[in-house]
Structure 1
Amino acid sequence: MSKIYVIHENEEWTSHLTTWLEELNLPYELWHLDEGTIDLTSQPPEGIFYNRISASSHTRDHRFAPEFTEAVLAWLESHNRVVVNGNRALRLEVSKVNQYMALNSEGIRTPRTVSAVGKNHIIEAAKQLNESSFITKHNRAGKGQGVQLFHSLEAVEQYINGEDYEEPVDGITLLQQYIEAPEPYIVRHEFIGGKFVYAVKVDTSEGFELCPADACKIDDSYCPTDKPDMAKGAKFQILDGYYNPIIKKYEKFLKDNRIQVAGIEAIQDAEGHLYTYDVNTNTNYNSDAERVAGVYGMKELALYLQQELADFNEKQAVVR
């Protein structure tokens, strides 16, 4: 029997999806790809394969999950299996450099960025960027890894030579112009099946760690899904009636890069220029914000996978 196969490395991030798959009485199987084996001469099972591998897998001691997943996806795709968020999506998930190049090719503005490998070259990149304020971030990141704001070369020198410096898992540090918004928030655009579902306003006044997942936690530091200060309002708010012309560009970008499910984050500066700075193909949803708005991303995702499985089964019936 054909199934929905969910490829992942973090059970906490799949629980909401499996709840909806069970609610819809859909056959599914979880493939946890932290490690394992794959017989490249064998035939993959029949069904729909949904890839949820995250760029932050190494923060959960799943260092080689993306590499193993890339091998599995290559195996699946070589046998023409239906893969939601296949290898192209994975390559963009684990590399912001790849993201920015792909976004720029679609005419989508990204912050000015210089990449660097090696501590000395981080200083050179900061000089080359030549911005009064700039941030560092990891090329393969997630959960705000490596994101630091600096206002001088001296400050970044102290950081990279100090005890708080974080070595990027792939060795690549990005130096990026700091986009100062008139109000402290960004907007995350959610897409399922390559189509816009909703937008979330995310309060950034507490910092750059913007993971919306209910299970998201970075060591003992501030968790963005902690209960919000009611005087300030919720950290995550779904925007009712939101529309921005950038959505059409985002949908074309997703289609051209064979990405079906994604959250795309953008920030607007004081002059009204919109900068897109992150594409998350392992997108998560905040249940508190969804409960208030009455929309549910994982439900929509489960319905999408249900339709994909039905289409697959129909095609198989015709072939047979």
Structure 2
Amino acid sequence: MPDLAILYEHPLWFEPLFAALDRRGVDHVRLSPDGAWDPADTTPPARVVLNRIAMSSFLREQEHPIFHAQALLDHWRRAGARVVNGADVMAVDASKARQLSLIAGLGLAIPATRVVHRAADVPAAAAAIGFPLVVKANIGGSGAGISRFDNLAELRYAAAAGELPTSVDGVLLVQEYVPVRGGAITRLETLDRRFLYAIEVAGGGAFDLCPADACVEGSGISMTAVAPAPALVEAAEAIARAMDLDVGGVEVMVDDRDGVARFYDINALSNFVARPLDVLGWDPHDRLVDYLIARIEEAA
């Protein structure tokens, strides 16, 4: 049985990880979520499974693997594999509503939000929030499924015309539009529920701030390594512990109206910053490989 299996669907994002594993001589197999699996087969594909299924996969394939992969990862866990970012983590990753509930439950600030499952309920939710606001898909990726509305007339027209964003799970978020101080957000990466590094991300359009290699080319996104305030580091680690997040990023923006740091997104797909040696001066994939080797040794 291999030591490590990596379940992924994006053809380019994980080449740096594969290269790091090859450099360290880690025995691993690379698996696609496509094809069929037998729920009566109790043999896992490896001692440790690393989940790298992206929420943005629905943008690449209409028949996306998000929900299929959750069941498969849970099956492998039942078969005895140690799953890194397993089905429970993926379920929260696949729901911005659950993420915001988790964050707010820790006493941290979030943008004012209402969650609905019918387009007909959006105008009433908007009235409780006020304008400007955004309507978001519960499952999104790379800024997809987000529309801004500046008044009720615009919103009612979009709802009546069937022009609101849609989510693959049918859930929408109505959320206040937060003016971001300095036009940049901070993404804090965590590994094994502890702070790893942080970058400030700016540019790239109104909502698309993906820092990964395949997202950056020609996007206008800029990334700068930063040392966040201790309170932000503590908050990111608390979020990671509450979610049982093995590896992932937490995104926060400072509200220019009142200076409050508002957390708004958790991303369990950390394929790390593009050009890490230029931005950070070191490669976080090496730390991830260290973590995976430790989990393999535990599972031996």
- TM-score normalised by structure 2 residue count: 0.91
Deviation at 1:312, TM superposition (A): 2.5
d(CA) in 2 for partners of 1:35, 1:109: 42
Does the residue aligned with 1:183 lie in a helix, a strand or coil? helix
d(CA) in 2 for partners of 1:250, 1:242: 11
Match among 241, 249, 256 for residue 263 of structure 1: 249
Distance 1:227 1:151, change over 3 A: closer
One-letter amino acid of the structure 2 residue matched with residue 138 of structure 1: A
The question of whether the paired residues in 1 share the 8 Å contact of 2:5 and 2:46 is answered with no
1:136-163 CA distances to partner (integer Å, 9 max, x unpaired)?
Answer: 1110111111212221112223334558
d(CA) in 1 for partners of 2:163, 2:225: 34
Distance 1:204 1:287, change over 3 A: closer
Q: Which residue of 2 aligns with 1:310?
A: 297
The question of whether the paired residues in 2 share the 8 Å contact of 1:35 and 1:65 is answered with no
Q: Higher mean Cα deviation, 115-124 or 257-266?
A: 115-124
Please list, as runs of the form range in 1=range in 2, the aligned pairs for 1:119-198 lying within 5 A after superposition.
119-129=119-129, 131-161=130-160, 165-198=164-197
d(CA) in 1 for partners of 2:46, 2:31: 14
Does the residue aligned with 1:38 lie in a helix, a strand or coil? coil
d(CA) in 1 for partners of 2:165, 2:109: 28
Deviation at 1:46, TM superposition (A): 4.1
d(CA) in 2 for partners of 1:209, 1:35: 31
Whether 1:212 aligns to 2:211 is yes
d(CA) in 2 for partners of 1:38, 1:120: 40
Whether 1:9 aligns to 2:1 is no
d(CA) in 1 for partners of 2:172, 2:83: 31
Distance 1:171 1:290, change over 3 A: farther
d(CA) in 2 for partners of 1:64, 1:207: 25
Whether 1:249 aligns to 2:235 is yes
Deviation at 1:186, TM superposition (A): 0.4
Q: Which residue of 2 aligns with 1:297?
A: 284
The question of whether the paired residues in 1 share the 8 Å contact of 2:184 and 2:253 is answered with yes
d(CA) in 1 for partners of 2:278, 2:187: 17
The question of whether the paired residues in 1 share the 8 Å contact of 2:111 and 2:263 is answered with yes
% identical aligned pairs: 24
Please list, as runs of the form range in 1=range in 2, the aligned pairs for 1:10-89 lying within 5 A after superposition.
10-61=10-61, 63-89=63-89
Distance 1:80 1:37, change over 3 A: closer
The question of whether the paired residues in 2 share the 8 Å contact of 1:38 and 1:72 is answered with no
Match among 245, 252, 275 for residue 288 of structure 1: 275
d(CA) in 1 for partners of 2:279, 2:92: 31
1:219-273 CA distances to partner (integer Å, 9 max, x unpaired)?
Answer: xxxxx44264xxxxx611111x433313223213322322111111000113221
The question of whether the paired residues in 2 share the 8 Å contact of 1:236 and 1:289 is answered with no
CA RMSD of aligned residues (A): 2.1
One-letter amino acid of the structure 2 residue matched with residue 50 of structure 1: L
One-letter amino acid of the structure 2 residue matched with residue 237 of structure 1: T
Distance 1:157 1:204, change over 3 A: farther
1:63-108 CA distances to partner (integer Å, 9 max, x unpaired)?
Answer: 3412221211221222342111111111111101111111122222
- TM-score normalised by structure 1 residue count: 0.86
Residue segments in structure 2 that go unaligned for 5+ positions in a row = none
Does the residue aligned with 2:21 lie in a helix, a strand or coil? helix
The question of whether the paired residues in 2 share the 8 Å contact of 1:110 and 1:277 is answered with yes
d(CA) in 1 for partners of 2:262, 2:228: 17
The runs of at least 4 consecutive aligned structure 1 residues that moved more than 6 Å come to: none
d(CA) in 2 for partners of 1:17, 1:25: 12
Does the residue aligned with 1:247 lie in a helix, a strand or coil? helix
The question of whether the paired residues in 1 share the 8 Å contact of 2:109 and 2:262 is answered with yes
The question of whether the paired residues in 2 share the 8 Å contact of 1:54 and 1:93 is answered with no
Whether 1:277 aligns to 2:269 is no
Does the residue aligned with 2:109 lie in a helix, a strand or coil? coil
d(CA) in 1 for partners of 2:77, 2:62: 23
d(CA) in 2 for partners of 1:225, 1:65: 26
Distance 1:290 1:115, change over 3 A: farther
The question of whether the paired residues in 2 share the 8 Å contact of 1:86 and 1:258 is answered with no
Deviation at 1:31, TM superposition (A): 1.6
